[in-house]
Structure 1
Amino acid sequence: MPDTPLDALWTPTAIGDIALPHRLAMAPMTRDRSTPEGVPTGLNAEYYAQRASHALIVTEGTQPSADGQGYLLTPGIHTEEQIAGWRKVTDAVHAAGGRIVIQLMHTGRIAHPDNTPHGRQPVAPSAIRPAGTMFTASGPQSMPQPRELTTGEVAATVEDFRRAAAAAVEAGADGVEIHGASGYLVHQFLSTNANRRTDRYGGSVEGRIRFALEVATAVAEEIGAGRTGIRISPANPYNDIEEDDTHELYPALVRALAPLNLAYLHVVHAGDEELLDTLRTLWPTALLVNRAGADLAARAADIAEGRADVVTVGAQALANPDLVERIRSGAPLNTPDPTTFYGGGAAGYTDYPTLAS
């Protein structure tokens, strides 16, 4: 049978300590379907287990602490109840033959007190209110000005990530992904508009990458580098982020992270091919690339041409629990329903049809 453009997707590989049967992974996607206390449910376990044929599942963003929550009904990984909830999810995925890492996401200033049980003011690198609104139970509201973390509190937040990583492994996860992208706390420290600090965590590129480096170091020390990944999104303005020095910032960050020998770097690619090639050259282990909106042939080409080791897909995985089987057999794909992306129950979550159904 002749080779096809998609054949590059189906070769086995490994990322750190995690062996993968192929190279098409599920990207993290917020779905807002945990309990108000941040506990994953049986419905969450069903959703992830349905998608276990992906090479790897990266879960939705999961808060490493109470102050890390920004949205309604997102899961946490810092209480015993949350750990028990995640254990149901990981057990279900493993029983279905899959591999799963929990993404640790501290939202920082992208938050609203009404969305959290404690109702506290959001925290951030600097006391700068982000543009935009936040959806709450009473409707969209302007995000408030956050409180600037003290130098000591920044160090304490690093320890929150460390404890959350240990909790994720206790919950049965194969590893964790540190969310350093999309305008959340780690990304806020990297940026030039959200981080106006004058201590060692701000100012120069060296200062602005320090928090990301310390978080990655702490997590790798706690659970092992082979179970630790990190996600970045260079030049992504999402959530009111500005980066004035992307071509200096990200090579510096990747050079600093490289000696940790993490399992993988996950890049949300915004179209800067030169920067992607630079990061590919600098990064010593597996590179995951999320080329949002690209067709599968373009994603497979990233693997065939050496730009990526694994590619991640979002909405296609959301709408097609058996995406791998559909692609391999040439079957048509389900169309995602954006009206059910966030919140709700089984509709638009666990009821997308499979080929078998």
Structure 2
Amino acid sequence: MNELFEPVTVGKLDLPNRLFMSPMTRSRAGGGAVPTEMAAQYYAQRAGAGLIVTEGTQPSVIGQGYIDTPGLHSAAQVEGWRKVTDAVHARGGRIFAQLMHTGRIGHPWLYPDGSLPLGPSPIASGETLYTPEGILEHPAPKEMTTAEIAATVGDFARAARNAIDAGFDGVEVHGANGYLIHQFLCGSANSRTDAYGGEVGNRIRFGVEVAHAVGEAIGPERVGFRISPRNPNNGIREQDSAELYPALVRSLSRYGLAYLHIMEWDRELTKVVRAEWPGVLVLNPKAEPGSPSSTPEQGAAVLREGLADAVTLGSYWLANPDLPERIKAGGPYNRPESATFYGGDHRGYTDYPAMVA
């Protein structure tokens, strides 16, 4: 699997390998959505990744969709993240912050003023929020006005500047998994009749505006963008993926972004997007039938086939902080404990052991 360990240039970063760490929500932020010292240890343990992409991080209070997720919209959050980036850089690593506005995947329970979450249209996700007080159904969101759309674009740009102030090497804009940008892309969540709804050219507008604004704020060479074509998560039902994603990718390609990141659901559509995207393409391969996650072997295969320039893995990194060494040795691999994926203390977070030399 030597392909995983070849160097690659992403934006202006010369990375030592093509084995990236996928963004994974862990719900362990402290009060005020501030990353903890434990988060600094967690990410630093995994600094051997060619690039770390953090857990989804909200660019605003209303962008939060889950309990105990971190933000990048306050001074305290910036200081908390600086401890993380310092720890990663001290071990020779590189780290991007993933900016994730969850849109309708939110709930008044999360917000100090009890307001409704925002979305392109007042269409509920049909999903639920876990809280210590029980499971709550997502309400229909407030339909965003054009002024709120513009303000949210500004929130992303401001969070990107905060990320650079916190020492991040760049940011990844989350346009996947049924969150706000994906909601605008998909007709099942977006019934607008203005310039942000209807035909494909309108539905991609918000995501493209966010990418452009973030690139203007920190330099496009420090910006990645994540998509997940045909992903049904969080109540999404795409009807025109084959038309939608080539149009989106062509529009994004004008801005010189560092990379495009695909969370794969459809290999044929991955090939179409690959043909349209002129820059670095990062792929989180779809897991094989019967497998809970994509594997290092799959990652090496897509690199050999030329489908991607780098790959992301999730649970393998979660459970194996020394993943590159384990791959080179042919294993063995720690098994991820799903019971500790979200919330809790150091158990299942910073206590996965490295290999014994």
The TM-score with structure 2 as length reference comes to 0.97
**Counterpart position of 2:254:** 259
Give the 5 Å matches for 1:10-89.
10-89=5-84
Q: Distance in 1 between matches of 2:172 and 2:192?
A: 26
5+ residue gaps, structure 1: 1-5
SS in structure 2 opposite 1:141? Answer: strand
Query: Per-residue CA shift, 1:139-172, capped at 9, x if unaligned?
Result: 1111111101101110110010000000000000
Once the two structures are overlaid, the 10-residue window that deviates more, 289-298 or 197-206, is 289-298
Does the 8 Å contact 1:71/1:116 carry over to 2?
A: no
Question: Out of 177, 181, 187, which is 1:186 matched to?
Answer: 181
SS in structure 1 opposite 2:231? Answer: coil
Query: Per-residue CA shift, 1:106-155, capped at 9, x if unaligned?
Result: 00000112123443211100011111211012011111111011011101
Q: Distance in 2 between matches of 1:49 and 1:298?
A: 25
Give the 5 Å matches for 1:1-357.
6-270=1-265, 272-293=266-287, 294-356=294-356
Q: Which amino acid aligns with 1:351?
A: D
Does the 8 Å contact 1:70/1:116 carry over to 2?
A: no
Does the 8 Å contact 1:180/1:212 carry over to 2?
A: yes
Q: Distance in 2 between matches of 1:120 and 1:82?
A: 22
Q: Which amino acid aligns with 2:207?
A: A
Q: Which amino acid aligns with 2:42?
A: Y
Does the 8 Å contact 1:263/1:285 carry over to 2?
A: yes
SS in structure 2 opposite 1:37? Answer: helix
The percent identity for this pair of structures is 56
Q: Distance in 1 between matches of 2:19 and 2:255?
A: 25
SS in structure 1 opposite 2:4? Answer: helix
- Residue 87 of structure 1, CA deviation: 0.2
Q: Distance in 2 between matches of 1:292 and 1:20?
A: 24
Q: Which amino acid aligns with 1:231?
A: R
SS in structure 2 opposite 1:194? Answer: coil
- Residue 292 of structure 1, CA deviation: 3.8
Aligned-residue CA RMSD (Å): 1.0
- Residue 296 of structure 1, CA deviation: 2.1
Paired residues in the alignment total 351
- Residue 356 of structure 1, CA deviation: 4.0
Q: Distance in 2 between matches of 1:53 and 1:295?
A: 17
Does the 8 Å contact 2:295/2:316 carry over to 1?
A: no
5+ residue gaps, structure 2: 288-293
- Residue 245 of structure 1, CA deviation: 0.3
Query: Per-residue CA shift, 1:272-293, capped at 9, x if unaligned?
Result: 2221111111111110000142
- Residue 35 of structure 1, CA deviation: 1.3
**Counterpart position of 1:3:** none
Query: Per-residue CA shift, 1:319-349, capped at 9, x if unaligned?
Result: 0011111111223000000000000010000
Q: Distance in 1 between matches of 2:356 and 2:327?
A: 14
Does the 8 Å contact 1:326/1:332 carry over to 2?
A: yes
The TM-score with structure 1 as length reference comes to 0.97
Does the 8 Å contact 1:320/1:354 carry over to 2?
A: yes
- Residue 13 of structure 1, CA deviation: 0.6
Q: Distance in 1 between matches of 2:108 and 2:132?
A: 11
Q: Distance in 1 between matches of 2:57 and 2:88?
A: 17
Q: Distance in 2 between matches of 1:11 and 1:58?
A: 19
Does the 8 Å contact 1:83/1:167 carry over to 2?
A: yes
Does the 8 Å contact 2:187/2:239 carry over to 1?
A: yes
